[in-house]
Structure 1
């Protein structure tokens, strides 16, 4: 049941008991630095304390922020002239959540811990309202849920993405969210980590009011928050202490909902990296069936276990690694590359893509999606039209799913031009070559690009293994040539290897890094060597899969356990998705092609390249899973068995 936060509690002895290690900071002491800016402002009916989180760039909830926020709310609670409190973020957003770097140092567990801060906000005897703009993520959203009400600006995003770090919301989030939005919504939001827009959050019950976009948005957001406070003071609005609410579902419904969620999340029963998602289900079940204090103890036990799990340690390593690779020396301020990087946005105005196959089509979509004008070039009209049809089909699917309007699709495809001539790329700021892996073909293309493209145009090759220097030497401007290796499917996968050749200029590297960021991808600068980094790492994995194949296991018997372990797909399904012909052509180029000894070569000799030919290590039916569902092919596996029988015994 909702209650007016400004009123005294009817039964103080019936309050939910709080954690024993609650921190108290002297409210008369000076504020702890600029971590939280404390200001008083008089609105028409009340004087309000505004607590503004100030920890750029994302207002991470460091120990200093936690101390200052706790001190601020206690100070406001003790001041008789203050009638309410507004919590907001400085800069571009509310708060990006916990300071992840404090996990390793142990500072995240130093008092005041975030659960205490959230409880202090909720325990305040005066109305506390969160005014949300930009991102309210993880612990940031937990802080907002600790407030008695939430108003959000249009364009804000709210999320609890802890599952992506192998943990769960640990500041009462698993206990407050189900009480606010119900068990089903809470499980969906937390196990996916997906962002919510204000409208969806409002419909769920997480946000109390959405402030429309427009002029003076920050001021209107504050006024909306103040209006909530004034409504609580005059009795016209009820503000909720979320820990005192009860989940709307019956116990039987909760049990069934949690069980079904676990079944969907972990259909094989082998965990496979799903530990945190399953723990979230258990925490939500506790929220729905136990008092807040008991549920919070469950949450705290689960997060302690998850925080030291191999899955969480690996995901947190990945979190920092993805951010670490973005610190590119060529982009440092004061360097020529740093200045050139400012050109990154303009580089997506006019882009050329050579090759209309699976990879080329995905690259085209990536550029179209950020507003580029794209010219797609192919050698033959039949291949060109087939590629355009595949691109249009992907956008048709987006329209059918409601992700895009028909008008938007028309606008996007209106920026796609086609040609059978490289000469039509003369006005492009950047060109990405994405033809099959053949050195002579690529050198011929780059020699033509050298003649056709304007000075300063970026000449990028999507090669996955070939020597960047050998390709660059086909031009008179090797400083403009660089590898830009996308991973399949290019319009979905985030990783792009930015491959520097011996003569690639720092300006070129910086501009491609900036362009990759513009594509909303993770660009990793690597050196020029066989397979670069990604495929060199992958080689041992796929080699071992090949050995298992030789020893008698068929592809489904290898891919299945890999999926159960937690990988999205196994090595043979991955080969079918990317195209088995890519590595087949590489082996031909290296002189290692041998269909008598390597069944992968024999497979491609049969024309079984994967999904694009409806046959690879599996068969594919256009009527099943849109032609993407791998279906076992017993006829192929019989051929494989015969192939094994003809191999010499070790």
Structure 2
């Protein structure tokens, strides 16, 4: 049963018992209603203690119900009955009390939490608003600004912070036991949260919340609607405001953004070890070597350190060793400054890290990760030296972004021990990890990759071998389409603005300026020998690099960065594009923002469809995880392939065929799109 009850003298215990997170679905709501009926029929009760079985109080509503009609009993009715119950309820909170779980706690007369409990209303992250009184009760309890900070961003607070906010009344390592000890007189005089007056007006806090939501959750509807509802709590009685909150919740729940956010939520939850690897035991990793101590290598090393793994970075010489040590120390210092770790933890990170130029250290490692320069010759040399130094059964991984994993593995006597682990910069922060399976990669190597991803708290996605795997292959087509639009009539800043309007945090040219134009330049040179001579090539970016415009690190790229600060438009780039168009005999024309967006997005969808059809990606959902977690595709659109399904394969095919009239090579529709259009199928199931 999802709700269990028992009586102990004058105390009734109501336990949410639906592991692992005690999600509040229809059966749980019905169980709470039945518990209320039982409590109201019992005589002599002084208190009801509401707790959660296992490690969670309640991690929110069962989101799988959101695609259907609302089913009775409804959570607002449960919450109202708890708050109105003659026997006062105490919430004993350990672990997460999120969404509906938080709203249940707010209905109680008293709240006790562990210091590390997580309490919050994260509904906006799923495209909805709290629907059981959260936007009205929380501001009454903690005040307007703290409520806005929690509700409009969806960020929870710890139990310790909740005590500071007066969201909880006590802290205890054993909240249920502490609930039994609460003074009866104190409990019987506690005022229900719904009976508290509305919070004081604060126009500045409201304006700041709207600005923050507009900047950090650009294009999303729910955060602004949530702020509207919190503002209502200032003057509107609870019984008048709650129906408005509920109507807003139900309307948003049925909307496209909420459906997209639910999709990516479940897609990310599904990013884990595949079922066919469940019986394969991963290697135990206590010590790892990372070859290369640059920005990427240092980030990988720090991610491993955070997971409790001892790390040796191997560099080429003393200068490289010193640089690697400085890079790791910079991350430690930044983490300290941001409050992510304390000094004790920082010292532990430093003690578990070493840098050397001696490959002999690899003999002690359980895993080696290569993060060297993106050159086949360099990488093969690294693995040759690792093989000579390491135990013959130790796993190896390459962090290559584009190169052929099979060719890298060919230098090994046993290529089954090599797997691709493509981290994303900064590696200690970015959640995505592409796990690349080579032709010879063993199941044990793959299982270890997935186990490591879990340990590092990353989202693993299995990818096959091709140039760029999943994400970078789509990125390359995105940039190619952008360059073509630039050559034919737009400016980089117009293209960037169009894609920011679409929902990206930044456009393709600003992103290139941050990463460095020389990286993509080197990749293009690598592809020169195999590039299709019939495919149109845009030389503008090559000229940028040849003229020393490498991006923000040198103060000038697609934009100028005076004093190393914010970007400013550079008319010289427009002149360069016009000059190349003249040389290429291109008659330029203006593109509207909608035309820019359509071309760039359809180019990515077409490439992704080919990737899916070739088996490079295992599912459309995997591509969605890659594009959202690794490349900034707007989360509220659900990922690239979910967005493609909202457009429809037939409509996509029609536009691709129209573009193919201009360029039949670049815009040739993928075979999968043709099949889905003919069958009226969907990428999610095709």
Distance 1:511 1:596 in 2: 40
Q: Where do 5+ consecutive residues of structure 2 fail to align?
A: 588-686
Counterpart of 2:275 (choices 301, 311, 329) is 329
Q: CA deviation at 1:622?
A: 7.2
Q: CA deviation at 1:619?
A: 4.2
Counterpart of 1:600 (choices 541, 546, 566) is 541
Instruction: Give the structure 1 partner of residue 176 of structure 2.
Output: 222
Distance 1:618 1:410 in 2: 40
Instruction: Give the structure 1 partner of residue 457 of structure 2.
Output: 520
Instruction: Give the structure 1 partner of residue 232 of structure 2.
Output: 286
Residues 116, 160 of structure 2: 8 Å contact kept: no
Instruction: Give the structure 2 partner of residue 366 of structure 1.
Output: 303
Counterpart of 1:354 (choices 291, 297, 309) is 291
Instruction: Give the structure 1 partner of residue 212 of structure 2.
Output: 264
Q: Where do 5+ consecutive residues of structure 1 fail to align?
A: 1-33
3-state SS, counterpart of residue 591 of structure 1: helix
1:374 and 1:635, CA in 2 relative to 1: closer, same or farther beyond 3 A?
farther
After TM superposition, the structure 1 = structure 2 runs for residues 140-219 of structure 1, keeping only pairs within 5 Å, are: 140-211=101-172, 213=173, 217=174
> Is 1:616 equivalent to 2:557 in the alignment?
yes
Distance 2:235 2:110 in 1: 24
Distance 1:369 1:314 in 2: 32
Q: CA deviation at 1:115?
A: 1.2
3-state SS, counterpart of residue 351 of structure 1: strand
Residues 29, 73 of structure 2: 8 Å contact kept: yes
Instruction: Give the structure 2 partner of residue 300 of structure 1.
Output: 246
Distance 2:223 2:4 in 1: 36
Residues 313, 324 of structure 2: 8 Å contact kept: no
Distance 1:554 1:203 in 2: 51
1:324-383 C-alpha deviation (Å, 9 max, x unpaired) = 232512432xx2x1xx14x5xx42x21111222222222122112222221112224434
Instruction: Give the structure 2 partner of residue 541 of structure 1.
Output: 478
Counterpart of 2:4 (choices 14, 37, 47) is 37
3-state SS, counterpart of residue 374 of structure 1: strand
1:182 and 1:602, CA in 2 relative to 1: closer, same or farther beyond 3 A?
same
Q: CA deviation at 1:544?
A: 2.0
> Is 1:240 equivalent to 2:191 in the alignment?
yes
3-state SS, counterpart of residue 61 of structure 1: coil
3-state SS, counterpart of residue 38 of structure 1: strand
Residues 144, 150 of structure 1: 8 Å contact kept: yes
1:149-196 C-alpha deviation (Å, 9 max, x unpaired) = 110012211122111111111111111111111111111111222221
Distance 2:34 2:544 in 1: 68
Q: CA deviation at 1:623?
A: 5.8
Of 470-479 and 412-421, the range deviating more from structure 2: 412-421
Distance 1:563 1:616 in 2: 19
Counterpart of 1:451 (choices 388, 406, 415) is 388
Residues 403, 467 of structure 2: 8 Å contact kept: yes
3-state SS, counterpart of residue 157 of structure 2: coil
Instruction: Give the structure 1 partner of residue 642 of structure 2.
Output: none
1:293-329 C-alpha deviation (Å, 9 max, x unpaired) = 2211221122122213222211111011111232512
Residues 482, 509 of structure 1: 8 Å contact kept: yes
Distance 2:310 2:321 in 1: 17
1:231 and 1:436, CA in 2 relative to 1: closer, same or farther beyond 3 A?
farther
Q: CA deviation at 1:262?
A: 1.2
Counterpart of 1:317 (choices 246, 249, 263) is 263
Q: CA deviation at 1:640?
A: 4.5
Q: CA deviation at 1:227?
A: 2.6
Distance 2:273 2:514 in 1: 31
1:431-469 C-alpha deviation (Å, 9 max, x unpaired) = 111223222221221222222222332211111222111
TM-score normalised per structure 2:
0.80
> Is 1:113 equivalent to 2:113 in the alignment?
no
Instruction: Give the structure 1 partner of residue 513 of structure 2.
Output: 576
After TM superposition, the structure 1 = structure 2 runs for residues 528-567 of structure 1, keeping only pairs within 5 Å, are: 528-567=465-504
Number of aligned residue pairs: give it: 583
1:395 and 1:609, CA in 2 relative to 1: closer, same or farther beyond 3 A?
farther
Instruction: Give the structure 1 partner of residue 200 of structure 2.
Output: 249
1:101 and 1:291, CA in 2 relative to 1: closer, same or farther beyond 3 A?
same
Instruction: Give the structure 1 partner of residue 50 of structure 2.
Output: 87
Distance 2:198 2:564 in 1: 42
Instruction: Give the structure 1 partner of residue 322 of structure 2.
Output: 385
Q: CA deviation at 1:229?
A: 6.0
Instruction: Give the structure 2 partner of residue 17 of structure 1.
Output: none
Distance 2:225 2:96 in 1: 25
Q: CA deviation at 1:258?
A: 1.9
